[in-house]
Amino acid sequence: MIRRAVVSLAFLVLAGMTAMAGAAPAVSIDRPRVRWLPGQLPMAGYMVLRNTGDQAVTLVGAASDAFARVMIHRSEIKDGQSRMVHVPELEIQPGGKAVFQPGGLHLMLMQRKRDLRPGDTVDIELKFEGGRTRTWSFKVVPAGGE
């Protein structure tokens, strides 16, 4: 009887931990958009990512079926030269936000897998620490229409 109770309790604890690990993070986004460029030029994704929860969240990656690779980058100027730097993770405090915009943070969308035009939408999955994910539709906008 005691053994069965211990096994049952262990199962409930494990199930609860698994559910928490897979739970979607408390985040929202405003103005999700992708800047369209012709041919196979890399595109950029922009948004305002907000932490609406009471604990810090850490963005660790992104993916899209429309692109072979999606990376988080930050544009910066160093020694008078503009360059992009890979951002392996981005922590957002409770109530805080991360602004992805031209000349700053952005999603670098490389090697598109299908033809895209302004007005189309692209689903992008944002990946957070702990294996949690959220997917949003980003509108493809013409360059300069960010």
Interatomic CA distance for residues 76 and 10, integer angstroms: 49
The candidate with the shortest Cα–Cα distance to 42, out of 18, 59, 64, 23, is 64
Name which CATH class applies to 25-142.
mainly beta
pLDDT single digits (tens) 12-65 = 444 444 344 457 789 999 999 999 999 889 999 999 999 999 999 999 999 999
Residues 6+ apart with CB under 8 A from 140: 33, 34, 36, 43, 116, 117, 118, 119, 120, 121, 122
Q: Specify whether the CB–CB gap between 47 and 34 falls below 8 A.
A: no
pLDDT single digits (tens) 117-135 = 999 999 999 999 999 999 9
The pTM is what?
0.81
Tell me the domain boundaries of the chain. 25-142
